Amino acid sequence: MKILFTYDMFREGFASLEERYEVTFPEGRDFTYQEILKRIPEYDVLCSMFDFPVNKELIDQAPRLQLIANYAVGYNNIDVAYAVEKGITVTNTPGPVTAPTANLALGLMLDTARRITECDRKLRTLEKQMKIGILENLGVHITGQTLGIIGMGRIGKALCKRACACGMEVIYHNRRQLSLEEETTLNVTYVTKEELLSKADFVSLNAPYTPETFHLIGEKELNFMKPSAILINTARGPLVDEHALVKALQEGKIHGAGLDVFEFGDYPLPELLALENVVLTPHIGTQTTHARLEMARAVSDNVIGFIERDRPVSRIYKP
Ligand code: GLV
């Protein structure tokens, strides 16, 4: 079996693959799309990163390809329908991604609500000119407030548990309603998207990026939200119409936003940088050393499980 990696990092997490198979890494960098296109005809397995496009053109150049093992829970970078049509298995890494992403979502909620980064920024840059007093840096409460989670998969549920521990009430909207048993265990209530948007003090997006979730939050949805509401996105940038969000924030239609992902690539729209009530992080949902290593191990397990049939594989059946 010949395995091709588009990236090179956390090699200790891939040791079990290197021991067993012929593995090619780009050595200290990423392979470009053109380099992968040239090499792929010779390989049985492609280990891709969440921002590497695995499209029809690439799949058509891969007569030997049996498995695409993605390093991520999200797989919007892969044309899964086409891969499945060609008999190629696609896998992802949901396990190690869940806790760190839910933790970051909670962190962004707290940061935006309590103005942590804003205060830090002001203290550093304005030093003594910063107004410090008992009413100067008032934030928003989390305890007793309502969190609306859109996308109640693994990460949504993990965030729900954390929010409940903070004393929040949680409502959710999802493609399918959870069983009564699960709703009771999680202590959550299913509502329509409109109801969620109009009731929630915090709205967190935890849905995958699909054609159906593109601009899940646009001008219309932002108009439904409370002027005091805070929007959190740790999922994928295009779930939010970023131009509409900028306008809503500038006009005070919503109170704030905590964003780990952006619509137009790695960087937010420049207008967002000028807003104090926005906390921005560069797609760090799973950026802990522990999570990165565990994700590498999960990719290795998916590859070995697929080849040897000796362990479970996290397989994606349809887009
Ligand atoms: C990270 O963004 C992931 O999809 O795992």
* Residues 199-230: tens digit of each pLDDT: 999 999 999 999 999 999 999 999 999 999 99
Q: Whose CA is nearest to atom 4 of ligand 1?
A: 74
What sign does the dihedral 47-235-257-159 (CA atoms) show? negative
State the Cα–Cα distance between residues 235 and 72, nearest whole angstrom: 11
Q: Which of the listed residues 286, 287, 293 should we mutate to test ligand 1's pocket, taking the one with most ligand atoms within 8 A of CB?
A: 286
Token pair belonging to 245 = 């969000």
Neighbouring C-alpha atoms within 13 Å toward the C-beta of 317: 0
pLDDT, residue 15, reads: 97
Q: Is the CB of 96 inside a 6 Å radius of any atom of ligand 1?
A: no
Q: Whose CA is nearest to atom 1 of ligand 1?
A: 72
Question: Tens place of pLDDT for every residue, the chain, 319 residues?
Answer: 999 999 999 999 999 999 999 999 999 999 999 999 999 999 999 999 999 999 999 999 999 999 999 999 999 999 999 999 999 999 999 999 999 999 999 999 999 999 999 999 888 876 666 677 888 899 999 999 999 999 999 999 999 999 999 999 999 999 999 999 999 999 999 999 999 999 999 999 999 999 999 999 999 999 999 999 999 999 999 999 999 999 999 999 999 999 999 999 999 999 999 999 999 999 999 999 999 999 999 999 999 999 999 999 999 987 6
pLDDT, residue 212, reads: 96
> What DSSP line would sit under 147-181, residue for residue?
EEEE--SHHHHHHHHHHHHTT-EEEEE-SSPPPHH
Ligand 1 centre to CA of 73 (Å) is 5
Max Cα-Cα span within the chain? 67
**Nearest residue to 140 via CA among 217, 285, 242, 254:** 254
pLDDT, residue 128, reads: 62
State the Cα–Cα distance between residues 168 and 198, nearest whole angstrom: 16
Q: Which of the listed residues 76, 91, 101, 295 should we mutate to test ligand 1's pocket, taking the one with most ligand atoms within 8 A of CB?
A: 101
Quick: pLDDT tens for 126-158.
666 667 788 889 999 999 999 999 999 999 999
What is the C-alpha radius of gyration for the chain, rounded to an integer number of angstroms? 21
Which segments of 50-144 does DSSP mark as H helices, in order?
56-60, 80-85, 94-114, 116-126
pLDDT, residue 122, reads: 85
State the Cα–Cα distance between residues 96 and 1, nearest whole angstrom: 26
CB 129 within 8 A of CB 152: no
pLDDT, residue 318, reads: 73
Which segments of 127-276 does DSSP mark as H helices, in order?
154-165, 180-186, 193-199, 219-224, 242-250, 270-273
- Give the Å distances, CA to CA, from 57 to 95, 119, 122, 265: 30, 48, 49, 22
Neighbouring C-alpha atoms within 13 Å toward the C-beta of 304: 16
Q: Is the CB of 48 inside a 6 Å radius of any atom of ligand 1?
A: no
CB 145 within 8 A of CB 202: yes
Q: Which of the listed residues 78, 97, 210 should we mutate to test ligand 1's pocket, taking the one with most ligand atoms within 8 A of CB?
A: 97
Q: Is the CB of 237 inside a 6 Å radius of any atom of ligand 1?
A: no
Ligand 1 nearest-atom number relative to CA 295: 5
CB 267 within 8 A of CB 61: no
State the Cα–Cα distance between residues 129 and 266, nearest whole angstrom: 33
Q: Is the CB of 285 inside a 6 Å radius of any atom of ligand 1?
A: yes
- Residue for token digits 């397989």? 315
pLDDT, residue 50, reads: 96
Whole-prediction pTM? 0.96
> What DSSP line would sit under 109-135, residue for residue?
HHHHHHTHHHHHHHHHHHGGGS--STT
State the Cα–Cα distance between residues 183 and 287, nearest whole angstrom: 30
Q: Is the CB of 207 inside a 6 Å radius of any atom of ligand 1?
A: no
CB 38 within 8 A of CB 14: no
